[in-house]
Amino acid sequence: MQPQGEVKTIFQKSGQERSDAILRRESKLALGGQRTQLIHSRGAEPPPHAGTDVLTRGPARPKTGRAPEQVARRIVRPMALSAVLHQAFLLAVLFLRASQSEVLGESFQLTPAGLTVSLQPKLQQVNLQWTAAGLTHQEVNGVFQIEISRIKKSNIIWVENYNATVKQNQTLHWHWKSDIPLECVTHFVRIRAMVDDVRYPPQSSWSSWSPWREVREHVSVKPDTLLIYPEKKLFEEGSNVTICLMYGQNMNNVSCKLQEEPIHGEQLDSHVSLMKLNNVAFLSSTGTNINCQVMRGTKKTFGDVLFVSKVLEEPKNFSCETQDFKTLKCSWEPGVDTALAWSQQHSQSYTLYESFSGRRELSNHRNSHNWQITEKSQETYNFTLTTENNLRKRSVNLIFNLTHRVHPKAPQDVTIETISATKANMTWKVQTYGDKYTLLCQVELQHEGEVIYEHNVSVHMSANQLLSDLEPDTKYKARVRCAGANRFWKWSDWAQETFSTPEAAPSQPLDVWRQVWPENGTNAVALFWKPLSNSQANGKIKFYNIVVENQDKPTKPEHYSIRAPSTVIKLNLDRRPYKINITANNSAGASPESVMVISNDSGHEEVWEKRIHGTKDGFRISWEPVSGDALGYVVDWCEHSRGQYCNLQWEKLGPNITSTIITSDTFEPGVRYDFRVFELSMQQNARLIERQTGYTQELAPLENPNVEIKNLTSNSFVLSWQNYSSDSQPGFIKGYSVYLKSKELQCHQNWERHLLPGDSVLCIYDINDPEKKTLTVENLQPESLYEFLVTPYNSAGQGPNETFTKVRTTDERSFMLLQIILPMTFCVLLLITLCYWKSQWVKETCFPDIPNPYKSSILSLIKSKKSPHLIMSVKDCIPDILEVINKAEGSKTQCVDSGKLHTEDAPTKSLSMPPEKDSSGPVPCVFFENFTYDQTAFDSVSRGLIPEPLKDIPHQLGLLATPDKLLNVLEKDYMKSLVESPTEETSLIYVSQLASPICGDKDRLATNPSLPVHCSQYKRQMAVPGSLIPPSLKENNSLTSTILLGQDEQ
Amino acid sequence: MQAQLPQRTLLSFALSVLFLSMARATRGCSNSSQQLLSQLQSQANITGDTRSLLEPYVRLQNLNPSTLREGCHRQPAAFPSEDALRALSKPHFLSTVYVTLGRVRHQLGTLRQQFVKTQDFPELERARQNTQGIRNNVYCLARLLHHPLETPEPTQAEPTRPSRPTTTTPSIFQAKIDSCRFLWGYHRFMGSVGRVLREWGDGSSRSRRHSPLRARRKGARRNRPSASSRSPAPRVQVPR
């Protein structure tokens, strides 16, 4: 450490002989001395230029990469002119001194003696001690010049003049710090003195130099060793460090690193090199490692640890205060901790020194200290806070009056007593500081975190504060803090207490409104009321009382009680005037009454509804007063779609108001709201005077109507959407747009035509009447495809774009055909139905069953005779009937093999036909008809058609004279034949059906051989009940031959 | 380094759990030699990991440069080699471990002054406690096997650190290197102890005569151990 109060002085020097310098003392040192440092070059290495030595402060700080000698040499700069002038000035001064000496008395020589040099290697410090020899006076001021050389005596690196007041037998001390570790190089020191006292004659010259004293910390370096210095030396962050390496004999080519950064050295001699580190940084509290490796020789790791301390910071925000006038609590911000590991440096200490009392106390904490007040009379304190570590010391000062630094304790015993629902009394106590000391307390009342009341109270010992204007049934937090009233320093901590005020009866009547509508012959009344706010309710509303009085006839009022939080009640009242009183009740009482009158015609008013347009801010509702003595008006509103069960909202207005703006957070775009304006009479009777409806913002229709197609024809159809509800749309429907699309479409009059890509035409028809929900589309092409879309529109736009519906017109011809086919189809169906109904009859008439030959009675006859011939003879047969169609009887006999029998037996007279004019015309034909099942045969019997031979075989047919008997016999035979025929059916030839006219009609063959003859027919046989045969049909039997003949003639 | 943090945390957790049970065992030794052996093996394996102590030390003392790390490993401090440990009889082995760990514990205590605050190197205090725990288990095992912790003959220690060239007190740099070597030797020693103990468990390289179970059976026929043998403080000499 260099002494304080150094002086920079410039003096002259020439060649090897240095001129004496008179150094002006400007400040005293603690030792009574003052040092002036002179660095110059002399001896064997004279400076290149004679010039001026420079006095510098502190140890020499050679530049990086230069030897100390060179640095010293560089510092001493010749300045020829100034040197000459300076020398002249000094000579003049010496002359004056010599004159003074002669005046004052005899001069004497001051000589340093007993010089002792010691070292502190860790601090790299050289300490000098000496005494002053030849001192004849008690005390004299002298100047001691000290020279330090490095490596060799001639290499002077430091010259300093040290001024001191010298007493007899006094030992003088001086020290010097080397920038190079003392282990590495040898230093030489010498000293001389001179009297510098105005009381004595000036000494003519310096005393002689003391002998050179060699200074060296001797260390032995073994051949295989590398020593690194300084060891365990502490540096401050940002300082420059010179590291010295001492090699053993066998060591060379050494490379070193600071942690991982290579560092380069400068060879001082063969075994010593220096490494300079500038502006070293703090790396870690465990030190920064320097490790060196020897390239050849030993593989040992050599190294050193550089301990770099952070710069000690000045304490900040140093302050002291007291709470009880017994202890001063001083606090400060300590700054960074400069402690280093390996016990190199402890955390910086903090010491408090009070100058008036002279007490000094070391703090046990880094940031605070409690200073006991011992002298109660002391009011003013002057503190010096000093922090110190191994390298540095810093101090801050604080002076204050104790009464100005009072930080009171938080108030105690805070109590709050509620006087009523709106008043409370708060009391508290404070710590007393004597009669003269008063505190100022701040009272704060908070509700839900918000300060609603603040008041300052001057307090000596205890205080109270009335808290008024409180809300009933409300929770509050009251708190208080205090500070010195005379001189504010700091508020104390808050002391707080929470409390609640008791309930009070509700202060305001309920805001009530009603909705009335007819229901089953009565008036349904829904009463709504708005819950009271906390400030109005003054407590928790428990229930609502409703009293209903009939105003027409005095009856006992009806009471209803509704538990909170319900806000609606529905009553059914007959159509008479009623008065309804409603109150809200809490534990403290009831609110003022709200009165509502229901008149006879409430809910039956008919008022025209007006459409209004709202904005996003709400609706502007205006009305015309009806009567001049209205008590006020009520505007209520509801969502249109909710009906009477909506969430009814209302607003009550004064009598002079005829318009208002209704705003609500619940208003939504696209929702229709219905407003009603009521006029309140003086009797609280409400009369509906206005109905309005509207949207805050209309939106485009959300859906298109479902369109039905009616009356589709070949050239027109009708579109209908009667079911479309235009009221439920998010806007007032203004009309409908009908789009019709087709190819080669000719738009009708009043339709708007648009051409579409692909040769399509779009026709648009606007229906500007929202109530018109049908449209006939005409003049269309038959059997053509059309597409249509019906979409509503309002002020916000039209409905959604949906796909078109396709419809195809019908075919015109097919329509006409349809007009014919339909009746025909109907007739056919009728006929089929009839036929089905008469199916049995039709079957018997048109499709008689084919007789089964096996059932024939002939078979039974054959069987009975057991004729070996399969061919039945005519005699064996019993002819049913023989019909002779042709008059030419001769030819007939030839037609059949046994024609004789036929011709003889056949009753010709009954079937005689009129003769034909053309003999060759008619072809004689013979019909054999089996009337086995023909009822007509029996009828013929009565007409004489039954052949005679029947009478010849009475044993068989005698019983068959009547038709019933005949039928019985035949049936019997038939059944018998069914039993007996199977064995003989293969040999049976049925010959009764057909007679070939070709074989027997010779005349005809001769006369007209080329014509094919088709005169013979098989006549269908049907078993038709005789009763069902119409007379005409019976007559046809005779007519048949006529027709056939006629045909043959053709 | 950050990636190692969870591993270290896991390691610390495992050690805590292990030594918690061990601390309970300190109050009263377990009767199961197998359990003790297993615990010792686990403890030796965990403490043999350099991440438990050496790596934090290297980081805090800025010994990360490779040349310095090599210096740590080049010349281990005086710990018995694995071969030397394996050559010892069981009683001698247990005594050696016991005494060596006592020395380690003391040495770890001296490391505290290398830091400003003990909080800067929490692993150090944990390691001291672990060392004491292992010693207790060694003591219990020796008692269970009726092998009093005999005075171990000095094992053939590896060369100690070189003598100071100039001063009697080592430089801080050298002290750092020495401490680093000491910790490295400690981890290596514990690793060796773990392997030798595992061989005990395997019984592969040990004679039947030294079977812990057999020894326990034999011990059951012996007289109860003297008060001195039950004492956790063994009469052993620290190998130098």
**Consecutive sets of 10 residues in chain A, 1050 residues long: mean pLDDT of each?**
33 34 33 47 34 32 34 38 58 54 58 90 91 80 93 93 89 93 92 86 82 89 88 90 89 85 88 92 93 76 91 96 93 95 93 95 96 88 96 96 93 95 94 86 94 93 92 94 91 95 94 90 90 91 94 88 92 89 95 91 86 90 88 92 82 92 91 93 88 93 92 89 88 93 81 83 91 90 89 92 89 75 87 84 75 69 57 60 54 40 39 40 44 43 40 40 44 43 41 41 40 43 41 38 35
By the 8 A CB rule, do A943 and A931 touch?
Answer: no
> A558, A574 in Cβ contact below 8 A?
no
Q: Using alpha carbons, select from A268, A220, A279, A277 the residue that is nearest to residue A245.
A: A268
As given in the structure block, the two tokens for residue A275 are: 């490494």
Substitution target from B57, B59, B60, B62 for chain A, most A beta carbons within 10 A: B62
Judged by a CB distance cut-off of 8 A, whether residue A288 touches chain B is yes
Using CB atoms and an 8 Å cut-off, which of residues 180-209 of chain A contact chain B? none
Element (H, E) at A831: helix A812-837
Please list, residue by residue across B90-110, b when 16 or more beta carbons sit within 10 angstroms of its beta carbon and e when fewer do. bbbbbbbbbbbbbbbbebbee
Residue A328: name the closest of A395, A393, A376 by CA.
Answer: A376
Omega cis (within 30) before A565: yes
Packing angle of the helix pair B33-47, B172-202 (nearest 10 deg): 150
The two tokens of residue A158 are 């430091």
Q: Is B203 on the interface with A (CB under 8 A)?
A: no
Q: Please answer yes or no on whether A291 and B67 come within 8 Å at the CB atom.
A: yes
Q: What CA–CA distance (Å, rounded) separates A561 from A323?
A: 61
Confidence of residue B191 (pLDDT cuts 50, 70, 90): very high
CA distance linking residue A412 with residue A439, whole number of Å = 14
- Structure-token match 């700080």, residue found: A61
- Cα(B90)–Cα(B84) distance, integer angstroms: 12
**Inter-chain CB proximity B70 and A300 less than 8 Å:** no
Q: Where are the alpha helices (DSSP H) in A917-962?
A: 935-942, 949-952, 954-957
Integer Cα distance of A741 and A777 in angstroms: 12
Element containing residue A978 per DSSP (H, E): helix A963-980
Measured between CB atoms, does B72 come within 8 Å of chain A?
A: no
Q: Are strands A327-333 and A368-372 parallel, antiparallel or unpaired?
A: antiparallel
Residues of B in contact with A303 (CB under 8 A): 68, 171, 173-174, 177
Q: Which of B70, B162, B173 sits opposite A289 (nearest CB)?
A: B173
Which of B113, B166, B172 is opposite residue A232, by nearest beta carbon? B172
Q: What is the rounded CA–CA span in Å between residue A964 and residue A972?
A: 12
Q: Which residues of B touch A347 (CB under 8 A)?
A: 116
Judge contact between A210 and A184, C-beta under 8 A: no
Q: Looking at the partner chain, which of A228, A231, A288 has a beta carbon nearest the beta carbon of B62?
A: A288
For residue A475, the surrounding DSSP H or E stretch is: strand A475-484
Paired with B150 in beta bridges are: none
**For residue A803, with 0-12 CB atoms within 10 Å meaning exposed, 13-18 middle and 19 or more buried, which class applies?**
exposed
**Complete DSSP assignment for A871-896:** SPPGGG---S-EEE--S-HHHHHHHS
Of the CA atoms within 13 Å of residue A305, those in its CB half-sphere come to 26
H helices, E strands: number in chain B = 10, 0
Q: Phi, psi (5° rounding) for residue B176?
A: -60, -45
Mean pLDDT of B171-200: 92
Encoding tokens for residue B200?
A: 């005990």
B167, A218 in Cβ contact below 8 A? no
Out of A259, A260, A340, closest to residue B116 by CB: A340
Encoded amino acid at A120, one letter: Q
Cα distance between residue A317 and residue A331, in whole Å? 8
Minimal CA separation from B45 to chain A, in Å: 30
Q: Is A261 on the interface with B (CB under 8 A)?
A: no
Q: What is the ipTM of this complex?
A: 0.73
> What is the edge-to-edge ordering of all strands in the sheet holding A301-309?
A234-236, A301-309, A288-294, A254-258, A261-263
Contact across the interface for A291 and B62, Cβ inside 8 Å: no
Q: Which residues of B touch A291 (CB under 8 A)?
A: 65, 67-68, 71, 173
Say whether B113 and A342 touch across the interface (CB within 8 A): yes
Is residue A551 within 8 Å of A579, Cβ to Cβ? yes
| Type and span of the H or E element at A967 | helix A963-980
pLDDT value of position A925: 43
Nearest to A301 among B62, B68, B116 (CB): B68
Minimal CA separation from A192 to chain B, in Å: 36
Residue with tokens 């937090």: A477
- How far is it, in rounded angstroms, from Cα A83 to Cα A192? 23
Tokens of A476: 């509050």
Which chain A positions have a beta carbon within 8 Å of B61's beta carbon? 286, 289
How many residues are there in chain A? 1050
Inter-residue contact B214 to B208 (CB < 8 Å):
yes
Cα angle for residues A686, A689, A694 (degrees, 5° grid): 115
Would you state the pLDDT for residue B87?
Answer: 93
The kind and range of the H/E element at A229 are strand A226-229
Structure tokens at A623: 């009305």
Which residues in chain B touch residue A247, judged by CB atoms under 8 angstroms apart?
none
Cα A932 versus chain centre, distance: 104
What's the rounded Cα separation, in Å, for the pair A419 and A772? Answer: 74
Of A68, A13, A2, nearest to A43 (Cα)?
A13
Q: Give the pairing type, strands A686-695 and A609-613.
A: parallel
- 3-class DSSP state of B200: helix
Find where tokens 């057999």 sit.
B214
- Pairing label, strands A234-236, A301-309: parallel
pLDDT band with cut points at 50, 70 and 90 for residue B179: very high
- Count of beta carbons in the 10 Å neighbourhood of residue A726: 19
Contact between A844 and A934 under an 8 Å Cβ cutoff? The reply is no
Task: Please give the C-alpha separations between residue A475 and each of A42, A383, A533, A536, in angstroms, as whole numbers.
Answer: 93, 48, 15, 15
Q: How far apart, in whole angstroms, are the C-alpha atoms of residue A708 and residue A720?
A: 5
Q: Could you tell me which of B142, B105, B136, B125 has the C-alpha nearest to residue B23?
A: B136
B177 contacts in chain A (CB < 8 Å): 301, 303
- Which tokens is A569 given? 């009640």
Query: Nearest CA to CA, how far is B113 from chain A (Å)?
Result: 6
Handedness of CA A1020, A1026, A1030, A1035 (dihedral sign): positive
Four-point Cα dihedral A658, A663, A669, A672, nearest 10: -40
Q: What is the pLDDT of residue A232?
A: 80
Amino acid occupying residue A461:
M
CA distances from A22 to A26, A31, A51, A109, A582 (A): 13, 20, 17, 16, 113
Residue among A232, A305, A337, A345 with most chain B CBs within 10 A, to mutate: A305
A255: its two tokens: 């490379």
Q: Are A541 and A567 in contact (CB under 8 A)?
A: no
Cα Rg of chain B (Å, integer): 18
Instruction: Tell me whether A263 touches chain B (CB under 8 Å).
Output: no
Judged by a CB distance cut-off of 8 A, whether residue A390 touches chain B is no
Contacts 24+ apart (CB under 8 A), B106-114: B107/B182, B111/B57, B111/B179, B113/A342, B113/A343, B114/A286, B114/A341, B114/A342, B114/B61, B114/B175, B114/B176, B114/B179
Confidence band for B72, pLDDT divided at 50, 70 and 90: confident
Chain B residues with beta carbon closer than 8 angstroms to that of A222? 165
A488 CB within 8 Å of a chain B CB: no
Decide if A143 contacts A193 (C-beta within 8 A): yes
Q: Range with the lowest mean pLDDT among A275-284, A399-408, B92-101, B159-168?
A: B159-168
Q: How far apart are the first and last CA of chain B?
A: 36
Task: Say whether residue A227 is in contact with chain B using an 8 A CB cutoff.
Answer: yes
Contacts of B70 in chain A (CB under 8 A): 301
C-beta of residue A680 within 8 angstroms of C-beta of residue A641: no
In this structure, the dihedral spanned by the alpha carbons of residues A229, A232, A237 and A242, taken in order and rounded to 10 degrees, is: -10
Q: Which of A957-966, B40-49, B145-154 has the highest mean pLDDT?
A: B40-49
